[in-house]
Amino acid sequence: MPTSKVLHLKSAVTALPDGTVVGFDPLVDDPSLFRAYLSVPEEPGAHVVLLDGHTVLMSAAAPRTREVLEGRGLRVVAVDISEYEKLEGCVTCLSIRLR
């Protein structure tokens, strides 16, 4: 997967519980590479962490994206990580996948 516009793939795109990939278009090299892609209006909105099959964690800095995701029937847990975002971090940087 090409990532010429960002350092990490998860800094450009992440996936919703249904597999739809969300991304902020100016940072995505080629959205057509994804089976299902949803463009979001704010960069922090491209960073979600799945909490369960209906819930995502995301930054409070993306209220318009939150509305889009809630409109798709998702429960959104928005957290203020503004101090971390000043260092170009996001919720995916603060997460660890456990199986």
- Residue 55 half-sphere exposure, CB side, CA atoms within 13 Å? 5
Q: Which position among 47, 54, 90, 93 bears the catalytic label? A: 93
Q: Is 93 a catalytic residue?
A: yes
Q: Is 8 a catalytic residue?
A: yes
Q: Tell which residue, 91, 31, 42, has the closest CA to residue 68.
A: 42
Beta bridge pairs of residue 50: 56
Q: Which position among 8, 47, 54, 90 bears the catalytic label? A: 8
Segment holding 9, helix H or strand E: none
Active-site residue numbers?
Answer: 8, 93
